[in-house]
Chains A and B, each alone.
Chain A
Amino acid sequence: MKFHVVYDGQSHALELRDAEYIFDDIPGAASVEQVKPGVFSVLIGAKSFRVNVAAQGEGFEVVSNDGLPRTLSIIDTRDRLAASDAAASKGPTVIRAQMPGKIIKILVEVGANVEAGQGLMVVEAMKMQNEVKAPKSGLVKKIAVAEDATVAAGETLIVVE
């Protein structure tokens, strides 16, 4: 079985065959042991890696020997087509919460014309206030939250068309 993965923003092809693998056309031998939930000891040849893995959205968060968190997701041909369709299409832009927090103030109304970079609302988390700005100029189609509401990361805040 062959996978297309995106690891840390880079696309790779991986084929798995029991203890062997082919990674970007280069074959190798590996041993993988789960040592506790979400923690793996991986030997690539004789090189030892301790890898922590946690699910994150549709993909995974991975930390290996350098201690730096990376993201990993799997993409097949259909997903790649869908992604490029979404990027090409024009229309409403959904602005989502970058972090969990509380809506302190909403600065615009539905139907308002906004400029790219204009402040739309103020969100607060952990004593820090963050102004959500319009990514493009357009018309405010929808405001999905109210002042004082608590939002989760990724939740829709406002739609600009």
Chain B
Amino acid sequence: MFRKVLIANRGEIAVRVIRALREMNIASVAIYSDVDRRSLHVQMADEAICVGPAPSSESYLVKEKILAAAKHVGAEAIHPGYGFLSENAAFAKACGKAKIKFIGPDWQAIEKMGSKTAARRVAIAAGAPVVPGTEKGVSDPKAARKIASELGYPVLLKAAAGGGGKGMRRVDQESELASAMSSASSEAERAFGSGEVYIEKLIERPRHIEVQVLGDEHGHIIHLGERECSIQRRHQKVVEESPSPLMLAKPELREQIGEAALRIARAVNYANAGTMEFLADQSGNFYFLEMNTRLQVEHPVTEWVTGIDLVRWQIRIAAGEKLTLKQEDIRWTGSAIECRVYAEDPANNFFPSPGRLAQYEEPSGPGVRVDGGVYPGWTVPLDYDPLLAKLTVWSDTRLTAIERMRRAVAEYRVLGIKTNLGLFAELMADADWRAGDLDTGFLDRFMHKLKPQKSSAEATVAGVLAVSQLAAKSAAAPQGHEPASLWRVNGRRGLLR
């Protein structure tokens, strides 16, 4: 087993990996940029090395600096987390050259599955269902028209190199096709350096369902069931759960989709943790979309329903150990739901809201897990992803898990910056969500019908009284550096009689 591992990441996922390493008695090495000196992952690691200034292109994404840091401290392996260099085949290859183990699949699998069009060809060859469409990028407008009319409108344009919704366009009729092609292509060019765009049949009201796979380097691979990630905004996942409500209604689907995922994984001799993303229609037909050759953000829901520590297994597999779990031994128990707590302002179109966490209190109690990367008093930098923490709950049924999430969200107190916690409070009460009637357009529709919830009269009085007390305290300590507001002046007069 490794004695020392470097984590080439930051935030909550770096903290997650450090925790696994500590439980395995392996020394952890954090890397950080100048603005992350005070980050939680730096405080928690056994060693920490600065890799450059704030922009990730000059720090967290610089392969040479990270490899040099690993050599400097004598780390034997690198865990890439998700994002950053986690799906960079060249980095995985460079690690191998430097005799440092990359905790993930081999670089050939990353390279092959990193291109959506190549991954799709692998899936077709392996006999897994895919969404009807082109296998290659299409640039000629005439050819595009022919393909789209054969598939039947609506169709979807997608960037071959991309993800996260960039370079993606819905096209409902032929007259929109040419302009959508050129705008999707230029957006893809800007975002990914490749303007290659392909065309797919659009699945109406699709559900996003993905399958976790876990394989060792000796040819043994299993699946750990599905996660439903249909609650998305701008193609970014916001809430994930396992099991999917679709599988709760049709339990035989899990084995079918799991087997499809394994066929694809075996075709590339996949080792370590990976995820196959599928689209499913409302009657349970599913189609392979793409593969993520890394640990997913939402891995905690799978860990909780299966009782399997994915990060620990990633490390053990990378160290050459055999995966001792057999497919028939995997059991799924209860229901787990994860909410991604983002630093963003729901009242201002969910724009990022970086800043200082004036107060930060995480929920706890039965069935609650928080994977956080922040602490009270810390300033959330504006240079990175706005994910503060992942709040995951488990209970024996989906509905009790939903009630538990509602309880946990109310315990979660974040002041100083805006978060989307309020959205979760309201989502947990929504009838369609509770019924599991989901698709990837759910959240947009939900937010349109949302009405602001009024504070009860008593809660209002409680809030006002708390503030008046605070005002009285600050009046009693007049040396505060903030200019005296009218409230404070009134507070002094009114409260210190």
Indicate which residue in B351, B384, B422, B470 contacts A60 across the interface (CB closer than 8 Å): B470
User: Which residues on A sit within 8 Å (CB–CB) of B479?
Assistant: none
Interface presence of A87 (CB below 8 A): no
Interface presence of B418 (CB below 8 A): yes
Interface presence of A76 (CB below 8 A): yes
Chain B residues bordering chain A, tally (CB within 8 A)? 54
Chain B 477-497 interface mask (CB, 8 Å, partner A; 1/0): 000001001110010011100
Evaluate contact between A32 and B355: CB separation under 8 angstroms.
no
Chain B residue, CB-CB nearest to A52 = B413
Interface presence of B52 (CB below 8 A): no
Tell whether A55 pairs with B482 under 8 Å between CB atoms, given A16-B494, A63-B413, A99-B352: yes
Chain B residue, CB-CB nearest to A123 = B351
Interface presence of B140 (CB below 8 A): no
Evaluate contact between A98 and B385: CB separation under 8 angstroms.
no
Evaluate contact between A101 and B466: CB separation under 8 angstroms.
no
Chain A 60-75 interface mask (CB, 8 Å, partner B; 1/0): 1111111111101110
Interface presence of A86 (CB below 8 A): no
Interface presence of A53 (CB below 8 A): yes
Tell whether A125 pairs with B462 under 8 Å between CB atoms, given A7-B455, A153-B355: no
Q: Which of A33-41, A106-114, A135-143 binds B? A: A33-41
Evaluate contact between B462 and A49: CB separation under 8 angstroms.
yes
Q: Would you list which residues of chain A between 76 and 122 have a CB under 8 Å from chain B?
A: 76, 79, 98-102
User: Which residues on B sit within 8 Å (CB–CB) of A63?
Assistant: 413-415
Chain B residue, CB-CB nearest to A34 = B469
Evaluate contact between A54 and B416: CB separation under 8 angstroms.
yes
Indicate which residue in B411, B453, B459, B470 contacts A38 across the interface (CB closer than 8 Å): B470
Evaluate contact between A62 and B487: CB separation under 8 angstroms.
no
Chain B residue, CB-CB nearest to A75 = B486
Chain A residue, CB-CB nearest to B412 = A67
Indicate which residue in B355, B457, B485 contacts A58 across the interface (CB closer than 8 Å): B485
Evaluate contact between B416 and A34: CB separation under 8 angstroms.
no
Evaluate contact between B418 and A42: CB separation under 8 angstroms.
no
**Sampled A-B contacts (6; CB under 8 Å):** A21-B461, A30-B461, A55-B482, A67-B409, A68-B425, A74-B490
Interface residues of B (CB under 8 A from A): 343, 345, 348, 351-355, 358-359, 361, 382-386, 409-416, 418, 421-422, 425, 453-455, 457-470, 473, 482, 485-487, 490, 493-495
